[in-house]
Amino acid sequence: MTEFSYRAMNNRGQMVTGIINGDNESAVRQNLKKEGLLPVEIKKGKSSLFALELPSIKLKKQISSAALSHFCRQLSVIIFSGVNLLKGLEIMAQQTPDKLMRSEVERMYREVQTGRTLSEVMAEQGSLVPELLTSMVATGEASGTLDEVLRNMAAFYEKEHRIRQKIKSAAVYPLVIIVMAVGLIIFFFNFLLPQMVTLITASGGELPMLTRTVIGISNFITKYYLILLAAALGTAVLLSRYLKTPEGRLNRDKCILRIPLLGKTLRHVATMRFARTAYILIKSGLPLLQGLEYIKQNVNNALAEKAVDYAIEGLQKGESLAANLAKANYFDSMSIQMFSIGEETGELEKVLEEMADFYDQESDTGFTKLLALVEPMMLVVIGSIVSIVIISVMLPMMDMFTHIRR
């Protein structure tokens, strides 16, 4: 038996935590469900038999949003067409193009053959299916609207894939420019500059101050590159570990929020994700209070997660969603007003849909402006660095030619 820690939602919508023993994660989930709890997070603890476990490094596999969208849409069509779930999974196991998703579908097909439900198979230990999709499938199975729920989730993951592509596209151009600039500078430092220095000193010329400074920097990097590389890697590892802590994530997102245009754009992305996830949850029949934990997992922003925590605490007390989201001072005034209008009119689902579309467009506009601003800025910065290196080479050459003419 192994010890597991868990977070789960009870029948009153309250979040509870505890420790439970079980053979595996799947068995723990089943035991929690029998107790009337909806598992949100389960973590493996120490073995109750004092077994020694050696640490291991594993790369976490993750199914892409595009593959999840394709899976949900295809299975939705199959179920809507009247094909039974088992036959549908068999068909999909042969046609799914994504390797990770196909492996999951094959596993689902084998497990469903034993009489288990699709949501139970998705929830078991080792599954790569997101908890949000697992919970939504369970809701669809219970309400008899699995095809509709899957159709909604297909649209959700399709839009999630699109926003991730925007973020990647915004990051690719600066990275390409930086790599090219670094490559050019390395070429100057290691090949062109040493040859020019040898030629100039041999002809009796004197090196200008700028050239001597650049050579000094080049010699320092060349001499201590192993130490500098180790220091850079060590700093990167420590920074990466810090940014994985709650405090680190919070400080990172606070700093990003202060960056002009970027902070505003990423806040629009978080607002869009909040609204889109909440809309899908309510539309599929999952209570908002119960769904807020899944919303928290999907916003991918520590400040937005803090706002969701306020909302959970407030809704448990019967307070307003909008008022508690406002406490975190993260969402802008317009989004808070829209949340409030949705609550007061009883049209929260419709308002959330409109919010998701609006902030999707706003984030799209923000990324377009960001790229338009970053491109010239990167060219100016990198161009300045390269220009200094080139001038440091050209100055002694000009001096040498002047000396030769005399």
Average pLDDT, the chain: 83
- As a whole number, mean pLDDT of residues 399-404 equals 65
Q: Is the pLDDT reported for residue 243 higher than 80?
A: yes
Q: Is the pLDDT reported for residue 126 higher than 50?
A: yes
**Quick one: pLDDT band at residue 58, thresholds 50, 70, 90?**
very low
For residue range 385-394, what is the model confidence (pLDDT) as tens digits? 778 877 877 7
Regarding predicted confidence, which is higher, 31 or 75? 75
Alpha-carbon gap, residue 92 to 108, rounded angstroms? 11
Strands 38-47 and 2-9, how do they pair?
Answer: antiparallel
Give the model's pLDDT for residue 9: 65
Alpha-carbon gap, residue 305 to 17, rounded angstroms? 18
**Quick one: pLDDT band at residue 1, thresholds 50, 70, 90?**
low
The one-letter amino acid code at 348 reads L
Give the model's pLDDT for residue 123: 82
For residue range 27-53, what is the model confidence (pLDDT) as tens digits? 787 788 778 777 767 777 644 443 434
The one-letter amino acid code at 6 reads Y
pTM: 0.71
For residue range 271-319, what is the model confidence (pLDDT) as tens digits? 998 998 899 888 888 788 878 888 887 888 899 999 999 998 888 888 8
Give the model's pLDDT for residue 230: 96
Q: Within 10 A of 163 (CB to CB), how many other CB atoms are there? A: 18
Q: Tell me if residue 244 falls in helix, strand or coil.
A: coil
For residue range 193-225, what is the model confidence (pLDDT) as tens digits? 777 777 777 766 677 788 788 788 888 888 888
Candidates 166, 293, 309; CA nearest to 250 is 309
Give the model's pLDDT for residue 59: 47
Give the model's pLDDT for residue 150: 93
DSSP per-residue string spanning 210-221: HHHHHHHHHHHH
Task: Show the domains of the chain with their CATH numbers.
Answer: 2-47 (3.10.20), 65-158 (1.20.81.30), 159-406 (1.20.81.30)
Give the model's pLDDT for residue 203: 66
For residue range 339-350, what is the model confidence (pLDDT) as tens digits? 999 999 989 999
Structure tokens at 401: 């030619």
Q: Return all residues near 290 (Cβ < 8 A) that are at least 6 apart.
A: 9, 13, 38
